[in-house]
Amino acid sequence: MSIIIPSEYKNKLSLVDTEKAIKLAKDTFEKKLSEHLNLTRVSAPLFVLPESGLNDNLNGYERPVSFDIKESGKNAEIVHSLAKWKRNALAKYLFKDGEGLYTDMNAIRRDEETDNLHSLYVDQWDWEKIITKKDRNIDFLKTIVRKINTVLIETKEIINQKFNALNLSLNNEVFFITAEELLKMYPEFSAKERENIICKEKKNVFIIGIGEELSNGIKHDGRAPDYDDWQLNGDFLLWYEPLNCAIEISSMGIRVDKHSMLYQLEKANATSRLNYEYHQKIVNDELPLTIGGGIGQSRICMIMLEKIHIGEVQVSIWSEDDLTLIRKNKINIL
């Protein structure tokens, strides 16, 4: 089976209370994220034209969902994320240094292998903030990560106060480690195994440096070469006791400047992307320097509501084998 149902798991909230808690969790987290990072909510696209170069290529092999437009005869793609679009939007809306935006991003990832944490449907808060050249460093990245951790803690406290059946708490501290340091600590384990080991010990962990090959010739995880700077990015993970595993809640980082993008496109054999307008704007220093990321809404709700399957907090499609197991264990899938 592709999913895990802990034997001791019981639904702590009814379906109606679950829906109420989802709304409270999303409203609270969104409001506090905006306050702590100085972000303004904006509208965002569900689909883009491929030739714009604005879609997120993720690891490079995921197939976007596309459709033809009757009026123009062109094809459009459902976004994978808004990593590139947001940077353009910051320039278009004339945001200033220290200001940023966030938006609700909805996507369909048709090639996803579904399990407790993964769905064909992706909903996340995509956010982006303008920074200065002196902010392009690890210390600044850590400062932003700690602010997001504060948002998590404050949201969980409010959820627990409203729903007495919920009692888990989150760790106040974030442990920072580079992907290379983590590899040297546990060279005999896979990247996912290393994540679980370090998160079980440290609880809240931010792994720095995703996308570049490590000393063993393997990337910790894939990352597109044209939005995150591979030296100044990372994944934010929490140890989640109900599932006895690490959950990645955010992929984020300081974005590429001209020099890091050219280097990373070369490493990824993707220099053909320089033909896109977006990439030319970076080369010509026409877009602001930024930091940004995506924060999974459904995963946040799972943690806040102490659920063990993402289908308990969002509506999607699951295999018949998974549904049989879910029904057998009386799990309330939405």
Read off the tokens for 84. Answer: 């590139």
Instruction: Please name the fold of domain 15-328.
Output: BirA Bifunctional Protein; domain 2 (3.30.930)
Task: List per-residue pLDDT tens for the chain, 334 residues long.
Answer: 478 888 888 889 999 999 999 999 999 999 999 999 999 999 988 888 877 777 766 666 678 888 888 888 888 888 877 878 899 999 999 999 999 999 998 888 888 888 899 999 989 999 999 999 999 999 999 999 999 999 999 999 999 999 999 999 999 999 999 999 999 999 999 999 999 999 999 999 999 999 999 999 999 998 889 889 999 999 999 999 999 999 999 999 999 999 999 999 999 999 998 988 889 999 999 999 999 999 999 999 999 999 999 999 999 998 888 888 888 888 888 8
Q: Is 27 a catalytic residue?
A: no
Q: Is 248 a catalytic residue?
A: yes
Q: Is 251 a catalytic residue?
A: yes
Q: Which listed residue (56, 135, 212, 306) is catalytic?
A: 56
Q: Is 56 a catalytic residue?
A: yes
Q: Is 235 a catalytic residue?
A: yes
Rounding to the nearest 10 degrees, give the CA dihedral for residues 129, 134, 136, 138.
Answer: -110
Q: Is 327 a catalytic residue?
A: no
Long-range contacts of 131-139 (CB under 8 A, 24+ apart): 131/97, 131/98, 131/254, 131/288, 131/289, 131/290, 131/291, 132/97, 132/289, 133/289, 135/254, 135/289, 135/291, 136/229, 136/232, 136/254, 136/257, 136/289, 137/232, 138/208, 138/232
Alpha helices in the chain (DSSP H): 15-37, 83-92, 138-162, 179-185, 191-202, 258-267, 277-283, 297-305, 320-328
Q: Which listed residue (119, 251, 264, 314) is catalytic?
A: 251
